[in-house]
């Protein structure tokens, strides 16, 4: 199933309308110009980008220059709709690089032109728009009726060689009230040869999974992406059965000589509990995994406390990741033999990157987590990945030895390096947010999530359930790690999962 983000243009800006009403318009100019937004969707892996010139569709003007620039600026195929009402206009777009053109009014008024376009360019590049309200097809910017039911229109255009249809529920478009599953299911049965692209009302990953079960060819997603209901990366992870990969909630045990501690910005540590007791509690409460970090092993250049690892592991029935002081394949093997399911490396990987490859080749990449402790740097450098944030342009520097030693390494570049070396997962901790309970560093999490194709665990700053929600919907994380809110029982794991589930985030309950 094609996952297709929408880029709707009006007055040179990316906007979203509600039910096609220009008076109910929301601008997303804060996300950048149309070309920047399209590039973002392209970089995140969109199968196709759906660009609509709303001004042209409504007879209010044209955004054709922006449309052309988007086509030229992204590697992802682009389908273009809105105000294409002549054969020369459609040909110009197709010759100019558009993968597909979406035709509404023109299709109903000039059927012979549709036949000509299919003959010249093939049925994979021509899409007929079936925008409907209560089953009636609308044309001319949804201001007039075609006097045809959706089913009758499908029959007519299938008979002239059309294969692809964009089916939009006008009453749901822009509302995030859920797609019109009933209509789509009905026409999938009555017209099985039609390839349907669904649009209108998408609000959650469950909606996408439901559409996949219906058997649609693709889905156009607009408002839900722009409002952060979920990320494009998550939408692309819908698997072959239409199931959504669950987000993981991971408590973390920072262990200092056998005691669980918690600090702020990696310092001012205070006692938080016994690792065995906390581990058992989290396992019983429904945590998806547990992370155990011996935070003083690397600074003290000693081995991890294997007897403590073994004691914690004996109380768990969930995956267990252990890190701290692992400098070799032999160290990792010892930890795995004492009950760990995965090993986490940080300092040793920075000092000898080949360790990541060795671990991956020996145990499989599913066992290898690379931890990245990063801090913002506002001295912008041309050889660093610069990220724009509310506090200004910055880059993220990797720290080692439990946050004690700056390395000068760019965190985003390092994430890409270790992913290529065989890391199976990244544990990304913001040193600026650690222990503050002010929320995750979403720019850091999102930048790394977009840069790699392996799971990313957000860490550092969780203070309430809303912060975990942001890590998933804004930060694009696959899992969220937290300590303080769980250690001191501010928000028990079941409560956090219930909160996320009620807001459309897939979690294991």
Instruction: Please identify every residue annotated as catalytic.
Output: 254, 373
CA 224 to chain centre: 12
Query: CA-to-CA distance for 216 and 167, rounded, in angstroms?
Result: 10
What is the C-alpha to C-alpha distance for residues 343 and 364, in angstroms, rounded to an integer? Answer: 11
Give the three-state DSSP class for 158.
helix
H helix intervals, 215-321: 223-226, 232-235, 275-285, 306-313
What would the two tokens of residue 147 be?
Answer: 């006097």
Which of 474, 468, 9 shows the shortest CA–CA distance to 249? 468
Give CA–CA dist 159/41, Å, rounded: 35
Count the helix, strand and coil residues of the chain and give each as a percent rounded to the nearest 5. 35, 30, 35
CB contact at 8 A, 195 and 170: no
Rounded Cα distance, 371 and 307, in Å: 22
Residues 137 and 99: their CA atoms lie apart, in Å, by: 25
Nearest to 206 by CA among 502, 408, 455: 502
Helix axes 442-451, 411-421, angle to 10 degrees: 40
């Amino acid at each position: 199933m094609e996952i297709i983000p929408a880029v709707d243009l009006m007055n040179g800006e990316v906007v979203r309308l509600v039910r096609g009403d220009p008076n109910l318009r929301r601008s997303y100019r804060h996300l950048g110009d149309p070309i920047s937004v399209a590039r973002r969707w392209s970089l995140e892996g969109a199968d196709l980008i759906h660009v609509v010139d709303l001004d042209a569709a409504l007879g209010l003007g044209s955004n054709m220059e922006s449309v052309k620039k988007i086509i030229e600026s992204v590697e992802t195929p682009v389908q273009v709709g809105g105000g294409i009402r002549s054969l020369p206009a459609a040909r110009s777009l197709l010759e100019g690089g558009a993968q597909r053109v979406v035709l509404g009014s023109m299709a109903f008024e000039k059927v012979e032109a549709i036949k000509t376009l299919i003959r010249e360019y093939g049925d994979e590049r021509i899409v007929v728009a079936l925008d409907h309200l209560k089953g009636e097809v609308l044309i001319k910017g949804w201001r007039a009726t075609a006097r045809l039911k959706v089913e009758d229109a499908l029959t007519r255009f299938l008979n002239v060689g059309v294969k692809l249809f964009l089916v939009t529920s006008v009453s749901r478009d822009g509302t995030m009230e859920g797609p019109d599953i009933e209509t789509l299911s009905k026409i999938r049965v009555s017209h099985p040869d039609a390839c349907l692209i669904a649009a209108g009302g998408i609000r959650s990953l469950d909606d996408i999974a439901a559409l996949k079960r219906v058997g649609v060819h693709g889905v156009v997603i607009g408002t839900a992406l722009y409002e952060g209901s979920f990320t494009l990366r998550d939408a692309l992870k819908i698997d072959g059965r239409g199931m959504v990969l669950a987000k993981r909630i991971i408590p973390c045990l920072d262990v200092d000589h056998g005691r669980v501690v918690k600090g702020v910005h990696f310092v001012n540590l205070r006692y938080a509990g016994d690792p065995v007791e906390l581990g058992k509690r989290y396992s019983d409460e429904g945590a998806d995994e547990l992370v155990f970090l011996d935070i003083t092993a690397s600074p003290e250049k000693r081995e991890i406390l294997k007897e403590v690892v073994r004691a914690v592991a004996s109380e768990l029935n969930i995956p267990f990741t252990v890190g701290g002081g692992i400098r070799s394949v032999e160290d990792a093997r010892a930890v795995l033999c004492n009950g760990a399911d995965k090993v986490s490396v940080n300092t040793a990987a920075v000092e000898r990157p080949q360790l990541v490859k060795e671990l991956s080749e020996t145990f499989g990449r599913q066992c290898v987590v690379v931890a990245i402790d990063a801090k913002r740097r506002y001295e912008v450098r041309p050889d660093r990945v610069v990220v724009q944030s509310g506090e200004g342009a910055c880059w993220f520097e990797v720290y080692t030895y439990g946050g004690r030693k700056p390395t000068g390494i760019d965190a985003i570049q390092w994430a890409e390096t270790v992913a290529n070396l065989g890391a199976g997962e990244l544990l990304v901790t913001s040193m600026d947010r650690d222990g503050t309970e002010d929320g995750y560093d979403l720019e850091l999490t999102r930048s790394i999530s977009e840069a790699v194709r392996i799971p990313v665990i957000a860490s550092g700053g969780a203070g309430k359930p809303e912060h975990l929600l942001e890590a998933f919907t804004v930060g694009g994380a696959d899992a969220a790690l937290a300590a303080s809110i769980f250690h001191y029982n501010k928000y028990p794991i079941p409560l956090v999962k219930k909160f996320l589930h009620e807001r459309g985030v897939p979690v294991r309950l």
